[in-house]
């Protein structure tokens, strides 16, 4: 991986090659973070269009993965901001909220993805950023540090805390599930 | 924990593997592990498994790649070459690197060099002619079927007694839906952008847009029991938040097309392809339902019994739903003149695509094997009547569909959307109970009929199907991408 980054800096890697290499990571990162896979796909397309537009400006100072994930992360933050600015009336909210679902509906969804997204939602935003970039974007700690503009040590610490918090949520969820199973 | 880790370091597509990796020089592992943390290993395995569960949209990957290629070809081959390579410490390109001027690889239609153009120039129009000829032959002669592609949920609503009534606006302008007597505006992404409530004592129902999207017909009901069909001019703008006041104003000044007597219930409004004739059904107090055409300014014309009319793309026929001898729903073809009517097949809720396909909902009995015995024979089975969406191309049946016996279906219809057969809580509880009782003989669980699908409409361009699907305590409005596929050799249409 390290070797590849150096190659990217040193060679004239084509955008197509880089696109093929990073599409899955970016798409998965956005799908991991967003509830609506359609929105995640739209945002993925927007990220690569923007990356292609700005590719001539890419100086190679940072690894391409870092540069690309900065675009993806910023696009996601903008998306969140856009959604937050939308004003719903009370009547609208009653339509938009999901109904409490029964066991059958629970099984129809991908239980594991739902559970993880649920656990992620309970984390503070910076921990959520680090965990998503690490596990969906598959970035190294040093790369995450560059994307988020933090030191590698700080990212390691945030990651450590996030895993501890996730472990607590996970253990609690498991206990509840097993408790229900026993009943 | 380490033993459970999968090694993916050899996969060139990964940005970085999640296994512990050694830093060059330091030999230090970049690991996710926190020592002495009890269930953390299990959590990490879970998270890695979840990462694999999050699917990547491979179709988007290919389509976006093609689009980027096209854009780059348009900009010129050198447009996106990374100049950073020139400013790297190494300076010159390394062996094996792409040549200068290369961004995305050139598209196949793009000439490799200027000098080759004059020599092979005649090949270009020849290939174009060949492709055009093939396309004409393919589109006109080859039998095709409709297949469902990507599905996305537009919106989700609480389940109500009345079905979700909705319609697609043309050219991706959005969607209209009626819930609880109010008209909802949704943009092309399914975000609710406005809600238009009728004046007190009134409610809206059955929205119908003309194919061009410039006219909206609606049923307006009064608390006193009377109803009328109204028509309003729709603004030619996307159904964004700013469109709501315009639609509200248009509805306030709507024309009344037809007044309906107290107790009668107009439903299933749908405009003809030319946007001049409105078809609808009228339910009378005894439950009798009749289809009518409103040909603009003239008296309505009856087309006989039925409900849920759907126009053929040429406007020469309508598919309607009628009750069969045993009360089961059937599809019939009728002509606007009210003449020859023929039974087509069993099913309900017809929707006719501008591309000629007729979609409908049909119930069928499904049998799912939950567990097998050691010899491989089914052990515990679930049997249930479930609904599925099928399509048929009535054009291929000719003017007069083949005569069929009652309860027979046409051999040419095709499955478009299957019922969801994922085991639910009831099945799992049943399995648990059988296990507790130590049952080892084959058993079958009979479940109540499941009506997943409420109604559906094709988009005005026929490229997508919008389906209202019941999902637990909610109704999901789902958009299904459609693609035509030629039937294989020996395969029946």
B39 vs A contacts (CB less than 8 Å): 167, 170-171, 174
B17 vs A contacts (CB less than 8 Å): 1, 138
Has residue B37 got a pLDDT over 70? no
Q: Could you give the maximum distance between any two Cα atoms of chain B, in Å?
A: 89
Q: Token pair for residue A122?
A: 């309970």
Q: So what's the pLDDT on residue B8?
A: 39
- How do residues B51-68 score in pLDDT, each as one tens digit? 666 677 888 888 888 888
Q: So what's the pLDDT on residue B66?
A: 83
Give the up-direction half-sphere exposure of residue B452: CA atoms within 13 A in the CB hemisphere.
20
- Verify whether the Cβ–Cβ distance A31 to B61 is below 8 Å: no
Q: So what's the pLDDT on residue B111?
A: 40
- Verify whether the Cβ–Cβ distance B104 to A14 is below 8 Å: yes
Nearest-angstrom CA–CA distance, B455 and B238: 24
Nearest-angstrom CA–CA distance, B93 and B491: 54
Nearest-angstrom CA–CA distance, B357 and B355: 6
B103 backbone dihedrals φ, ψ, rounded to 5°:
-110, -95
Q: Are B166 and B477 in contact (CB under 8 A)?
A: yes
Interchain CB contacts (distance < 8 Å): A and B: 239
Confidence of residue B320 (pLDDT cuts 50, 70, 90): very high
Confidence of residue B360 (pLDDT cuts 50, 70, 90): very high
Return the closest-CA partner of residue B102 out of A16, A113, A37.
Answer: A16
B158 vs A contacts (CB less than 8 Å): 94-95, 99
Nearest by CB: B56 against A27, A60, A108: A27
Q: Are A3 and A17 in contact (CB under 8 A)?
A: no
Q: Percentage helix, strand, coil, to 5, in chain B?
A: 20, 35, 45
Mean pLDDT computed over B3-14? 38
* Least reliable range by pLDDT among B37-41, B232-236, B369-373: B37-41
Q: Are B206 and B215 in contact (CB under 8 A)?
A: no
Q: What is the mean pLDDT of chain B?
A: 76
Q: Percentage helix, strand, coil, to 5, in chain A?
A: 80, 0, 20
Q: Token pair for residue A147?
A: 């994307």
Strands B182-186 and B342-346: unpaired
Between the CA atoms of A138, A56, B103 and A11, what dihedral angle is there, to the nearest 10 degrees?
A: -70
Q: So what's the pLDDT on residue B280?
A: 94
- How do residues A37-72 score in pLDDT, each as one tens digit? 777 888 888 888 888 888 887 777 778 888 899 999
Mean pLDDT computed over A94-115? 44
- How do residues B181-240 score in pLDDT, each as one tens digit? 889 898 888 888 888 888 888 899 999 999 888 889 999 998 888 899 999 988 888 888
Name the strand (E) or helix (H) holding B282.
Answer: strand B278-283
- How do residues B84-136 score in pLDDT, each as one tens digit? 333 333 333 333 333 333 344 333 333 444 444 556 677 778 888 888 888 77
Partner A, chain B 33-72, Cβ-Cβ below 8 Å: 34, 37-40, 42-44, 46-51, 53-57, 60-61, 64-65, 67-69, 71-72
Interface pTM (ipTM) of the complex?
0.71
Q: So what's the pLDDT on residue A117?
A: 72
Nearest by CB: A12 against B32, B82, B191: B82
């Amino acid at each position: 991986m390290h070797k590849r980054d150096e190659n990217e800096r040193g060679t004239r890697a084509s955008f197509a090659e880089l696109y093929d290499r990073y599409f899955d990571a970016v798409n998965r990162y956005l799908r991991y973070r967003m509830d609506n896979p359609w929105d995640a796909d739209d945002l993925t397309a927007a990220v690569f269009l923007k990356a292609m537009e700005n590719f001539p400006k890419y100086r190679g100072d940072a690894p391409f993965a870092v540069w690309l994930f900065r675009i993806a992360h910023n696009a996601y933050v903008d998306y969140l901001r856009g959604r937050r600015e939308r004003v719903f009336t009370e009547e609208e909210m009653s339509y938009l909220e999901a109904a409490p679902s029964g066991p059958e509906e629970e099984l129809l969804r991908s239980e594991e993805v739902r559970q993880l997204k649920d656990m992620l939602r309970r984390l503070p935003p910076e921990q959520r950023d680090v965990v998503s970039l690490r596990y969906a974007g598959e970035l190294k700690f040093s790369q995450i540090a560059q994307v988020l503009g933090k030191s590698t040590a700080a990212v390691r610490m945030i990651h450590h805390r996030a895993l501890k918090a996730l472990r607590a949520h996970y253990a609690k969820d498991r206990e509840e599930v097993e408790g229900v199973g026993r009943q | 924990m380490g033993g459970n880790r999968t090694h993916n370091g050899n996969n060139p597509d990964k940005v970085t593997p999640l296994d512990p990796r050694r830093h060059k020089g330091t030999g230090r592992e970049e690991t996710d592990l926190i020592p002495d943390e009890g269930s953390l290993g299990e959590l990490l395995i879970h998270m890695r498994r979840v990462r694999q569960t999050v699917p990547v949209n491979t179709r988007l990957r290919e389509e976006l790649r093609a689009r980027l290629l096209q854009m780059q070809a348009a900009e010129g081959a050198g447009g996106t070459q990374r100049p950073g390579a020139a400013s790297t410490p190494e300076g010159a390109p390394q062996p094996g690197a792409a040549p200068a001027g290369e961004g995305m690889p050139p598209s196949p239609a793009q000439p490799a060099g200027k000098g080759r153009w004059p020599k092979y120039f005649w090949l270009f129009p020849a290939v174009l002619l060949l492709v055009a000829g093939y396309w004409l032959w393919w589109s006109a002669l080859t039998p095709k079927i409709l297949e469902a592609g990507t599905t996305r949920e537009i919106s989700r609503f609480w389940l109500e007694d009345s079905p979700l009534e909705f319609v697609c606006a043309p050219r991706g302008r959005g969607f209209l839906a009626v819930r609880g007597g109010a008209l909802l505006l949704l943009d092309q992404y399914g975000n609710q952008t406005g809600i238009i409530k009728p004046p007190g004592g009134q409610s809206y129902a059955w929205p119908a847009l003309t194919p061009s999207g410039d006219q909206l017909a609606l049923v307006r009901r009064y608390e006193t029991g009377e109803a009328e069909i109204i028509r309003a001019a729709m603004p030619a703008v996307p159904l964004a938040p700013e469109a709501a006041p315009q639609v509200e104003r248009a509805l306030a000044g709507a024309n009344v097309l037809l007044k309906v007597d107290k107790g009668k219930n107009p439903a299933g409004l749908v405009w003809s392809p030319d946007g001049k004739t409105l078809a609808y059904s009228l339910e009378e107090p005894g439950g009798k339902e009749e289809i009518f055409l409103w040909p603009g300014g003239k008296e309505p014309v009856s087309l006989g019994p039925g409900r849920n009319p759907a126009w053929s793309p040429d406007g020469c026929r309508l598919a309607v739903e009628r009750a069969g001898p045993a009360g089961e729903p059937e599809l019939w073809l009728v002509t606007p003149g009210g003449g020859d009517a023929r039974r087509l097949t069993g099913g309900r809720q017809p929707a006719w695509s501008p591309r000629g396909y007729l979609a409908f909902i049909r119930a069928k009995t499904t049998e799912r094997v939950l567990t097998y015995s050691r010899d491989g024979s089914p052990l515990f089975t679930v049997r249930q009547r479930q609904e599925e969406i099928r399509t048929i191309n009535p054009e291929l049946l000719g003017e007069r569909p083949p005569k069929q016996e009652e309860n027979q279906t046409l051999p040419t219809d095709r499955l478009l959307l299957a019922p969801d057969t994922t085991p639910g809580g009831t099945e799992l509880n049943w399995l648990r109970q059988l296990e507790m009782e130590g049952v080892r003989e084959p058993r079958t669980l009979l479940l109540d009929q499941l009506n997943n699908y409420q109604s559906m409409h094709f988009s005005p361009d026929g490229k997508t199907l919008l389906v209202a699907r019941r999902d637990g305590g909610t109704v999901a409005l789902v958009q299904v991408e459609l693609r035509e596929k030629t039937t294989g050799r020996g395969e029946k249409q």
